[in-house]
Amino acid sequence: MKPAAALLLALLVASAGQAQTDQAEPRASGAAANPPPSRAGSGLAASRFCDRSQPLTAAEQDRVLRFAAALRDELGNGEGNGEVNTAGAPRIAVISRSGLDLSRFAIRYSHAALAWRSDAGVWSARQLYYACDEARPRIFDQGLAGFALGTDDAALGYLSIVQLPPEASATLYPALLDGARVQHLLAARYSANAYAYSVRYQNCNQWLMEMLAAGWGGLADGADLRLRAQAWLAAAGYLPQPVEVGSRWLMLASAVVPLLHLDDHPQADRDALRLQVSLPTAIEQFVRQRYPASQRVELCHDTQRIVVHRGWSSLADGCVPGPDDRVILFSE
């Protein structure tokens, strides 16, 4: 397979956020009634992708855990919206993490979750994972350390936080904690490159967008909740991020590569080698459009430091701090 196509396949599979046993164990949220995927042989083949991660050294794990602590500090410091948040009031943020090096495709982030604060003040990341042991998608609550450990490069990682203003959190919170709606928004079959406006499959970012629709649109529970959520997103102007494939090899490979599908994508998009997939950048743009008071913080780390960058501009590649960025040295 050509390198470009292979990299894109890695991108799409990376967006799965697979639940892996060598990371902090996620907690299943609610009881799912969805059957496992029916694609022949998908469980065996998908297991190859579920075993991608390499064990971290003690020094690498220490860096990532300190990175997670910086994430927790940013979520909890109350500065994100310029307002004092009342204790116990709903607090939700969209958090995204980097995975494989996808700079060739101008993509930094591939996996997003909704971070929410419990009544006890504990932050968790609620997200869709492809559960490797069950060969099916699941909704999990995961600690922030486990979320940060999901990055693939222990030497260079990025996290993005979009703090929702109080009114956005207040309308989303009931839907996010409603087990029935959470599960009715979960598809039975997983596809890493799921078309954003189809209910045939689903990936992690698509579930998050449909959850935003359920909360902000005040959508009642029901078996057709995904259809209504997608209709609400279309009416609200959500535009999924186009991924320029640039190769016919991917179209051929999707017939044999697990967790990738094309039969949910419009024929015109397939012919143009341009797939409309939900990715964190498009999610953040939609949130900013819907709630301009949302505020963004981006964090990165290399082997020497953590950089904290505030605002909607992007951190420089290579985790190079700008003049107004905060730098936390690992040696401190």
At 152 the pLDDT is 74
Residue at 217: amino acid letter: G
At 101 the pLDDT is 72
In a 3-state reduction of DSSP, which class is residue 51?
Answer: coil
Mean pLDDT of 222-248: 92
CB 254 within 8 A of CB 201: no
Using one digit for the tens of pLDDT, what is the confidence trace for 189-206? 999 889 999 999 999 999
At 89 the pLDDT is 72
In a 3-state reduction of DSSP, which class is residue 157?
Answer: strand
CA dihedral 250, 111, 209, 325 (to 10 degrees): -130
At 87 the pLDDT is 52
- Model confidence band, residue 314 (pLDDT cutoffs 50, 70, 90): very high
- Model confidence band, residue 44 (pLDDT cutoffs 50, 70, 90): very low
Query: Does the pLDDT value for residue 84 go beyond 70?
Result: no
At 49 the pLDDT is 55
User: Whole-angstrom Cα distance, residue 215 to residue 220?
Assistant: 9
At 45 the pLDDT is 46
Mean pLDDT of 107-136: 92
Per DSSP, what are the bridge partners of residue 301?
Answer: 157, 306
Predicted TM-score (pTM) of the model is: 0.86
Mean pLDDT of 287-292: 98
- Model confidence band, residue 133 (pLDDT cutoffs 50, 70, 90): confident
Please state which of the ranges 27-41, 100-114, 126-140, 286-300 shows the lowest mean pLDDT.
27-41
CB 9 within 8 A of CB 105: no
Q: Is 30 left (phi over 0), alpha (psi -120 to 50) or beta?
A: left
Query: Does the pLDDT value for residue 28 go beyond 90?
Result: no
User: Whole-angstrom Cα distance, residue 256 to residue 267?
Assistant: 19
At 25 the pLDDT is 42
Distance in Å from the first CA to the final CA of the chain: 45
Mean pLDDT of 44-67: 74
- Model confidence band, residue 51 (pLDDT cutoffs 50, 70, 90): low
Tokens 């022949």 sit on residue: 40
- Model confidence band, residue 29 (pLDDT cutoffs 50, 70, 90): low
Using one digit for the tens of pLDDT, what is the confidence trace for 145-193? 999 988 778 899 999 999 999 999 999 999 999 999 999 999 999 998 8
Select, from the ranges 14-18, 49-53, 103-107, the one with the highest average predicted confidence (pLDDT).
Answer: 103-107
Query: Does the pLDDT value for residue 80 go beyond 50?
Result: no
Mean pLDDT of 290-300: 97
In sequence order, which residues have a C-beta less than 8 Å from that of residue 53 and are 6 or more positions away?
20, 22, 23, 152
Please give the full DSSP string across 218-250, using - where no structure is assigned: TPPP-TTHHHHHHHHHHHTT--PEEEE---HHH
At 21 the pLDDT is 32
Residue at 119: amino acid letter: D
Mean pLDDT of 263-291: 94
- Model confidence band, residue 77 (pLDDT cutoffs 50, 70, 90): confident
At 283 the pLDDT is 98
Which of 144, 162, 170, 143 lies closest to 85 in space, CA to CA?
170
Helix (H) or strand (E) holding 312: none
In sequence order, which residues have a C-beta less than 8 Å from that of residue 283 and are 6 or more positions away?
94, 96, 112, 205, 208, 209, 212
Report the length, in residues, of the chain.
Answer: 332
- Model confidence band, residue 50 (pLDDT cutoffs 50, 70, 90): low
At 56 the pLDDT is 84
